[in-house]
Chains A and B, each alone.
Chain A
Amino acid sequence: MDTRAIARISLLAAMIAVLGLLPTFYLPVTGGVPITAQTLGVMLAGIVLGPRHGALAVLLLIFVVALGAPLLAGGRGGLGVFFAPSADSCWGGCRALSLPAPSCSASRTRRCFLPRSWPRLPVES
């Protein structure tokens, strides 16, 4: 992976984070999961970067959040997010890339590497 790819993945991850923090597109909390433009950012990352790099951007963002940066929609972050009931929305973001990316990316032949059975966290007992 060359420097350009790394920079694009990192900056797109940063853009997804910024879109989640903007108060402009903030719908108040709906059952613990605020609705922001963050989902839009995830889709854009998939379309612009293609399935592989797009998924890497989202994974990178999830990793930074796990390290403790409050970057998810509504300024949430930290390890606790991954055990909260809203955890599926962040894994869902990763899985969602398999939807727009194969149809929109320039590299049509490349399939998304994420399997259907992407691991879910055991939130539902």
Chain B
Amino acid sequence: MMGGYLTRATWLHRLPAGLKLLMVAGMNLALLPVQDWQLLALFLAVVVGLYAALGRDAARGLGLFKPVVPLLVIIGGLQGFSSRWEDGANVVLRLLLMVLVADLVTMTTTMSALMDAVEPLFRLLRPLGVSSRKIALSVALVLRFIPVLMANWRAREEAWRARSRLRVPLRMVVLFLIETLRLADHVAEALDARGYGRAGRQP
């Protein structure tokens, strides 16, 4: 859930990304009808064992779940209170299982591998006007421009702090938005100037 990628190669890294995604989807579908908390607890133990088998840095990822615990307790408590306590345990265990297994994929798969794995899906959507090339460009733009916009905001914040002792007001977001839109138009022009939008020859 905190999106920590393990840079160290493990055996899970070697599995193809598509297979891992399919396994997560299949497991979640298979888990939904299970109403036996003992079985779910067994699965949970297996998944936690997997984390432990991956190494200490993977097991540390489990510690990042602390902020979710109160919410899980509330959900489980409500479910247990409104029906039987077994139902509450089922819900909490199932949630934990789904999150942990999905995080296992995130931990052991690079973004580009995942992107390649889902690309055939976008090809299926082509009749609807979805172009995988455009999606790849958008994803790259988002990742590239987050640090740029971050630096932009920090500069604004510093300028405000240098001039005022009040806290940074929310109104600054509007200026930030305008700057972002201007930047977007510059980027579009730059892309067009390099022949991106031209029909026929497209990089």
Give the nearest-CB partner of B154 in chain A.
A22
Count of A interface residues, CB-CB < 8 Å: 58
**B residues adjacent to A (C-beta < 8 A):** 1-5, 24, 28, 32, 67-68, 70-72, 74-75, 79, 87, 90-91, 94-95, 98-100, 102-103, 105-107, 109-111, 114-115, 134-135, 137-139, 141-143, 145-146, 148-150, 153, 157, 167-168, 170, 173, 176-177, 180-181, 183-185, 187-188, 191-192, 196-197
Chain B contact residues: helix, strand, loop or mixed: helix
**A residues adjacent to B (C-beta < 8 A):** 1-4, 6-15, 17-19, 21-22, 24-25, 29, 31-33, 37, 40-41, 44, 48, 60-61, 63-71, 74-86, 122-125
CB within 8 Å for A125 and B184 given contacts A64-B142, A68-B106, A69-B143? no
CB within 8 Å for A81 and B180 given contacts A6-B134, A11-B187, A31-B71? no
Name, among B4, B98, B134, B168, the residue most crowded by chain A CB atoms within 10 Å (CB to CB): B98
B88 to chain A: closest CB distance in Å? 9
CB–CB A60/B139 < 8 A: yes
B186 to chain A: closest CB distance in Å? 8
CB–CB A67/B111 < 8 A: yes
Of the residues B67, B139, B148, contact of A67 by C-beta under 8 Å: B139
CB–CB B1/A19 < 8 A: no
CB–CB B188/A68 < 8 A: no
Bound Cα distance A37, B172 (Å)? 12
CB within 8 Å for A83 and B71 given contacts A15-B180, A69-B111, A77-B3? no
Residues of B within 8 A of A21 (CB): 150
CB–CB B90/A125 < 8 A: yes
CB–CB A11/B181 < 8 A: yes
